[in-house]
């Protein structure tokens, strides 16, 4: 089990930092832009794909850490609507890696009560991959612990357009009145429908931008950036981000308490 793994880890990496967090002030929804895989590989004279592969290992550890401290939602950016512009060999590799991930991690997710959801325009993926996605989601649907959203072929603007389109279609057949369209209705038609907004957005790799990730859901997210490349990101870095979040004064446009 992951919780035991964390506590049994010989070096106890991340354990103290995770233990020291204020359990009453945890973010409910954490999002992560896992950037810097290519640079991690380049520094080591390796192909970019080696960085992505190592990125899967880092992701596994962060899912364990988030699950161990009872974070409810974790959304990670695996492939954006813009990533199709990369060389075909890299796109193919990322798709294969995603397919491998869907096969290899589900058992461990089930053991640890993690529910997997893929967010994004899944219909553009190959038919096989779409089947795998639905199969993986179905196999974890009963789990009630951490919900892990993996964003694939995801774009924040695209997601909002899709939601508007769905609402417009309902309006066209008289199921919805234009005056009834409100924030809740838009929210309920996003890929992350019925999930809470993002509390904390982490970005690795040194850039300080949102890159079309969860634009709607991040309206009041606290942002945390690190120079570390994603493959080097570890549970104690995750704890440092949450720790920083716990010091923030969240006013949501109001005044301090």
Q: Give the residue with the Cβ less far from ligand FPP, 185 or 223.
A: 223
Q: Is 35 a catalytic residue?
A: yes
* Region 41-100 residues binding ligand FPP, contact defined as CB under 6 A: 52, 55-56, 59, 78, 83, 94, 97-98
DSSP structural state of residue 196:
P
Q: Of the ranges 32-40, 180-188, 215-223, 244-252, which one interacts with ligand FPP (CB under 6 A)? A: 32-40
> What count of residues does the chain have?
257
Closest contact distance (angstroms) between CB of 54 and ligand FPP is 8
Q: Give the residue with the Cβ less far from ligand FPP, 129 or 163.
A: 129
Give the DSSP letter string of 16-62: HHHHTS-GGG--SEEEEE---HHHHHHHTT--HHHHHHHHHHHHHHH
- Which residues on neighbouring strands pair with residue 80, listed in sequence order? 154
* Region 174-213 residues binding ligand FPP, contact defined as CB under 6 A: 205
The rounded Cα 135 to chain-centroid distance in angstroms is 19
Choose, from 83, 110, 143, 188, the residue flagged as catalytic. 83
Closest contact distance (angstroms) between CB of 71 and ligand FPP is 17
Q: Give the residue with the Cβ less far from ligand FPP, 34 or 239.
A: 34
Q: Is 155 in the site for ligand FPP (CB under 6 A)?
A: no
Q: Is 34 in the site for ligand FPP (CB under 6 A)?
A: yes
Residue 111-150 contact track with ligand FPP, rule CB under 6 A, x = bound: ---------------------------------------x
d(CA 23, CA 231): 27
- Which residues on neighbouring strands pair with residue 222, listed in sequence order? 200
- Residue of 27, 38, 155, 156 interacting with ligand FPP (CB under 6 A): 38
Q: Which residues 6+ apart lie within 8 Å of 220 measured at CB?
A: 197, 250, 252
Q: Of the ranges 37-45, 163-171, 216-224, 246-254, which one interacts with ligand FPP (CB under 6 A)? A: 37-45
Closest contact distance (angstroms) between CB of 247 and ligand FPP is 28
Cβ neighbour number for residue 206 with a 10 Å cutoff:
13
d(CA 242, CA 229): 18
Q: Which residues 6+ apart lie within 8 Å of 20 measured at CB?
A: 239, 243
Q: Is 83 a catalytic residue?
A: yes
User: What radius of gyration do the chain's Cα atoms show?
Assistant: 19
Closest CA to 34 of 63, 95, 67, 76: 76
How many chain residues interact with ligand FPP (CB under 6 A)?
A: 19
Closest CA to 150 of 228, 211, 60: 60
d(CA 75, CA 82): 18
Q: Is 36 in the site for ligand FPP (CB under 6 A)?
A: yes
- Residue of 15, 29, 30, 37 interacting with ligand FPP (CB under 6 A): 37
Q: Which residues bind ligand FPP (CB under 6 A)?
A: 34-39, 52, 55-56, 59, 78, 83, 94, 97-98, 101, 150, 205, 230
Which residues have a catalytic role annotated? 35, 83
């Amino acid at each position: 089990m992951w919780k035991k793994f964390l506590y049994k880890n010989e070096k106890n990496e991340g354990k103290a930092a995770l233990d020291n967090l204020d359990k009453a002030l945890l973010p409910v929804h954490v999002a992560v832009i896992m950037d810097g895989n290519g640079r991690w590989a380049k520094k080591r004279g390796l192909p970019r794909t080696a960085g992505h592969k190592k990125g899967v290992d880092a992701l596994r550890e962060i899912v364990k850490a988030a699950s161990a401290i009872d974070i409810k939602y974790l959304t990670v950016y695996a492939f954006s609507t813009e990533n199709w512009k990369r060389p075909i060999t890299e796109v193919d590799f990322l798709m294969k890696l995603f397919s491998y991930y869907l096969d290899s991690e589900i058992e461990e997710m089930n053991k640890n009560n993690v529910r997997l959801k893929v967010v994004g325009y899944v219909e553009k993926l190959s038919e096989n991959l779409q089947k795998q996605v639905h199969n993986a989601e179905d196999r974890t649907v009963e789990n009630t612990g951490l919900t892990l959203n993996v964003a694939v072929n995801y774009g924040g603007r695209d997601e909002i357009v899709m939601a508007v389109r769905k609402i417009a279609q309902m309006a066209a057949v008289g199921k919805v009145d234009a005056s009834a369209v409100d924030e809740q209705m838009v929210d309920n038609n996003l890929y992350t429908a019925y999930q809470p907004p993002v509390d904390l957005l982490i970005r690795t790799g040194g850039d300080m931008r949102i890159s079309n990730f969860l634009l709607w859901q991040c309206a009041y997210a606290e942002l945390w950036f690190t120079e570390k490349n994603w493959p080097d990101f570890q549970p104690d870095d995750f704890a440092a981000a949450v720790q920083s979040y716990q010091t923030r004064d969240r006013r949501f446009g109001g005044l301090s308490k």
